[in-house]
Amino acid sequence: MPYSIMLDAGHGGADPGATYQGRQEKDDTLKLVLAIGQILQNHGIDVEYTRTTDVYETPYEKAMEANNAEVDYFVSIHRNSFPVDNEVSGVESLVYDLSGIKYQMAQDINEQLESVGFVNLGVHARPNLVVLRKTKMPAVLVEVGFINSDTDNMLFDQNFQDIAQAIADGIMDTLYMKEVEETDHYRVQAGAFRNRMYAERLLNELLEQEYPAYIDDSGPYYRVQVGSFDNLNEAADMERRLKRAGYPTVIVR
């Protein structure tokens, strides 16, 4: 997949970000960003990082780093905080404005995190944030739960890999859907479900086997589909591969 993305672990170095009972935002974000990046790289996405160690860069420096690298997307990972401990929990994503593919990606990430167990607090416009205002590419800032919420911290720690997978899946959902919308194509459908959880289970199973799978939720069913093929022969080849692997399939256009 010819996409590149810069992942930003919020804060770092002398800036710990939000803190709670000895826990520091900068540590959680770095650990999570590295896990997300590994998943995306395993699916053919070119991943770059604003930091991979405990160092500090200003938000402006991070935005310029992304611009200079000419990546396609910028995703910044943070932990939220509230003035009163254990008062609020959940995930929210921030974008410059509520339009375009950045808004779609933020929604997709939130929906995936909701499936892990977080309360979905929605997507909000924050045009004043430097990493959203100064980046030239679509940019999303994800607040992965409240660091001063025991509920969110327990979820973060006990489901860490699922959370990394959920954010990566949200990103890839958007990218694959973009490919689908831009191409006159054939696709191979491996399943259709009323319950998104079952669709996501099949999606993850296919992605683990490195099939270019995604969920199409444009109709009444959550349809798990593979590929975007310019001609019927290519789609038929993929259908035969999936059938040999034991999946019931149908070619759709």
How crowded is residue 219: how many other Cβ atoms within 10 Å of its Cβ? 8
Give the model's pLDDT for residue 251: 85
Q: Rounded to 5 degrees, what angle do the CA atoms 192, 195, 197 make? A: 100
Tell me which H or E stretch contains 158.
Answer: helix 150-158
Q: What is the pLDDT of residue 218?
A: 78
pLDDT at residue 184, as a whole number: 55
pLDDT at 72: 95
Which residues, 6 or more positions from 134, have their beta carbon under 8 angstroms from its beta carbon? 59, 60, 63, 64, 67
Bridge partners (DSSP) listed for residue 189: 225, 250
Q: What's the burial of 67, exposed, middle or buried (CB within 10 Å: 0-12/13-18/19+)?
A: middle
Say what the pLDDT of residue 180 is. Answer: 60
CB 201, CB 245: distance < 8 Å: no
The Cα–Cα gap between 31 and 211 comes to 27
Q: What pLDDT, on the 0 to 100 scale, is given for residue 1?
A: 47
pLDDT along the chain (253 residues), means of 10: 90 98 98 97 94 98 97 97 98 94 94 96 96 96 98 98 96 80 74 91 92 86 87 85 88 81
Note the pLDDT tens digit of each residue in 44-61.
999 999 999 999 999 999
Q: Give, to the nearest 10 degrees, the angle between helix 100-116 and helix 196-208.
A: 100
pLDDT at 63: 97
Per-residue pLDDT, 235: 86
pTM assigned to the model? 0.72
User: Contact, 32 vs 100, CB < 8 A?
Assistant: no
